[in-house]
């Protein structure tokens, strides 16, 4: 079975269904707990915090959305591509805004990959061919716990038969000695940085034949290691994204210069199981990966969900499979309480506490199937472990049908 605990979508998880109690084999801590505890803290259908039946809740959703003059649909990174498609259709019908977590996560990198501004590859190719493996501003030990064992540092691959002992070179860049950085011992280098841009400049200088201002010996050594192979990869996380302070051009310049010497690919390491799926789907429909307005037919920073909240540009938010009260800075999150909030989620979370309406859904990959895109853009088909009566597809379809009656 496929585990939807994170964006790796591991395909070797074994599930034993003991009368609805799921026992899990092969999954990591995160995935195993998600699956084994799937019955915990399930959301109820509610209106203003009071339990109602599903039909009443969906009728209230219809009223709110039909009366909305400025709707934003937000989240969708944990639901199937099929459900995402319907949410995008709903946004189009209502001329609404649509956005996901990638706007403040790694969406910019995904857009660069889709626009072919940065070379990327698949995890399977990394396993088979990659020699120098960078983890830059990311700690897969905690975020994607099986990343290193399934695809990068530890496994044997077609041209990497001797694994990490001899056939991999690990580079970790972080502001602290993370658990991943602690693995950087033999055939490895840990760069403890204060400023990511300084290290990027050091690589650029070294590649230009100038002495780098910091880490001079280590930067030259890493470049030398990279030149030993025709397949190297950089995995970048939020530490890199925010460390760049918006200066993506410097990072792209470094990658370009590295690729003049050897072959280097880049894969952004997000955590949500289907963030990549949402980005690719919206890109295919609109030419943009996130923060899109169907009314204005463009994407811009002003249309990021958090900016719409902050500037009080929306009267209603339909939040699907995410918890902005947990993830958005307080100054933005607090604005949610001023507007109508509809939450579609399998579980209670902080945002359900302030929602006008909650529609309980199914956990994708456990109680409903569909398709998702792995972190590297590879499409994965999910089969449900247990069938639920109501899922994101059926809920959004119902909303669409009801909205159509009102148009």
Partner 1 sequence: MPLQFSKYLKIEVEVVVARNSFQAEAVDKGKMSKKFVEKSAVVFMNEDFARRNGFKEGDIVRLSRRGRSINVKVFICETSPRDGVMMPNSIYSSYLADFDNFKRFRAYIELSDGDVTKPDEIIDQIKNKNKK
Interface residues with partner 1 (CB under 8 A)? 28-30, 33-34, 36-37, 40-41, 104, 139, 141-143, 145, 175-179, 181-182, 192, 238-239, 242, 271, 306, 323, 325-338, 347-350, 353-354
Q: Cβ closer to partner 1: 41 or 404?
A: 41
- Identify which of residues 50 and 116 has a Cβ nearer to partner 1 in the complex: 50
Name the DSSP class of 53. -
Instruction: Compare residues 293 and 349 and give the one whose CB is closer to partner 1.
Output: 349
Q: Which of 226, 223, 227, 188 lies closest to 206, judged by CA?
A: 223
How far is the C-alpha of 262 from the C-alpha of 336, rounded, in Å?
48
What 3-state DSSP class applies to 219? helix
Distance in Å, CB of 227 to partner 1, minimum: 31
How many other CB atoms are there within 10 angstroms of residue 142's CB atom? 14
- Shortest distance in whole angstroms from residue 209 CB to partner 1: 32
- Phi-psi group of 9: left, alpha or beta (phi > 0 → left; psi -120 to 50 → alpha; rest → beta): left
Minimum gap (Å) between residue 174 Cβ and partner 1: 9
Shortest Cβ distance from residue 145 to partner 1 (Å)?
A: 6
Min dist. Cβ of residue 335 to partner 1 (A) = 7
Give the nearer residue to partner 1 in terms of CB position, either 195 or 387: 195
The helix or strand, by DSSP H or E, that contains position 370, with its residue range, turns out to be strand 370-373
| Pair 156, 163: CB distance under 8 Å | yes
Judge whether 72 and 341 are in contact, CB under 8 Å.
no
Nearer to partner 1, 62 or 347 (CB): 347
Distance of closest approach, residue 75 Cβ to partner 1, in angstroms: 16
Q: Which is nearer to partner 1, 24 or 73 (CB)?
A: 24
- Cα(149)–Cα(27) distance, integer angstroms: 12
Nearest-angstrom CA–CA distance, 102 and 291: 9
Q: Residue for token digits 């309480």? A: 337
* d(C-alpha 293, C-alpha 291), whole Å: 7
Query: Cβ of residue 6: shortest distance to partner 1, in angstroms?
Result: 9
Of 180 and 286, nearer to partner 1 (C-beta) is: 180
**What span, in angstroms and rounded, lies between the C-alpha atoms of 73 and 127?**
37
Q: Which is nearer to partner 1, 25 or 179 (CB)?
A: 179
Residue 241 beta carbon to partner 1: minimum distance, rounded to whole angstroms: 8
- Report the alpha-carbon distance of residue 101 to residue 113 in Å, rounded: 18
Residue number with CB closer to partner 1 (30 or 160): 30
Backbone angles phi, psi at 23, to 5 degrees: -105, 140
Write out the E strands in 19-121: 21-25, 46-47, 50-51, 71-75, 97-99
Report in angstroms how near the CB of residue 52 gets to partner 1 at its nearest. Answer: 20
User: Alpha helix (H) ranges present in 168-296?
Assistant: 196-207, 216-227, 238-243, 248-261, 275-286
Q: What are phi and psi of 68, to 5 degrees?
A: -75, 135
């Amino acid at each position: 079975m496929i585990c939807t605990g994170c964006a790796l979508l591991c395909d070797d998880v074994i599930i034993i269904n003991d009368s609805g109690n799921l026992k899990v084999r092969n999954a990591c801590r995160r995935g195993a707990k998600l699956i084994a505890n799937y019955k915990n803290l399930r959301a109820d259908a509610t209106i203003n915090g009071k339990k109602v039946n599903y039909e009443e809740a969906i009728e209230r959703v219809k009223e709110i959305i039909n009366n909305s003059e400025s709707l934003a649909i937000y989240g969708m990174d944990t639901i199937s591509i099929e459900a995402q498609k319907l949410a995008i259709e709903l946004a189009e019908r209502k001329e609404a805004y649509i956005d996901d977590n990638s706007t403040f996560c790694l969406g910019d990198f995904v857009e660069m990959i889709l626009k072919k501004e940065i070379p990327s590859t698949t995890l399977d190719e990394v396993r088979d061919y990659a020699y120098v493996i960078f983890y830059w501003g990311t700690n897969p030990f905690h975020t994607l716990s099986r990343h290193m064992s399934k695809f990068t540092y530890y496994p044997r691959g077609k041209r990497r038969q001797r694994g990490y002992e001899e056939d991999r070179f690990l580079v970790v860049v972080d502001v602290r000695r993370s658990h991943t950085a602690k693995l950087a011992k033999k055939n490895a280098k840990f760069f403890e940085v204060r400023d990511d841009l300084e290290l990027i400049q050091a690589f650029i200088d070294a590649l230009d034949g100038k002495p780098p201002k910091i880490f001079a010996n280590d930067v030259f050594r890493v470049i030398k290691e990279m030149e030993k192979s025709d397949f190297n990869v950089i995995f970048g996380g939020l530490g890199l994204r925010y460390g760049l302070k918006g200066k993506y051009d410097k990072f792209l310049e470094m990658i370009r210069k590295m690729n003049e010497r050897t072959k280097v690919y880049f894969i952004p390491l997000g955590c949500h199981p289907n963030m990549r799926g949402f980005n690719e789907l919206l890109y295919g429909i609109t030419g943009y990966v996130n923060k899109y307005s169907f009314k204005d037919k463009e994407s811009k920073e002003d249309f990021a969900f958090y900016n719409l909240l902050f500037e009080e540009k929306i009267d209603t938010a339909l939040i699907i499979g995410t918890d902005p009260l947990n993830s958005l800075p307080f100054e933005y999150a607090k604005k949610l309480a001023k507007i109508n909030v509809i939450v579609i989620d399998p579980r209670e979370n902080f945002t359900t506490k302030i929602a006008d309406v909650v529609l309980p859904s199914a956990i994708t990959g456990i109680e409903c199937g569909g398709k998702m895109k792995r972190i590297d853009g590879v499409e994965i088909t999910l089969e449900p472990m247990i069938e639920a009566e109501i899922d994101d597809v059926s809920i959004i379809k119902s909303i669409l049908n009801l909205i159509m009656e009102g148009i």
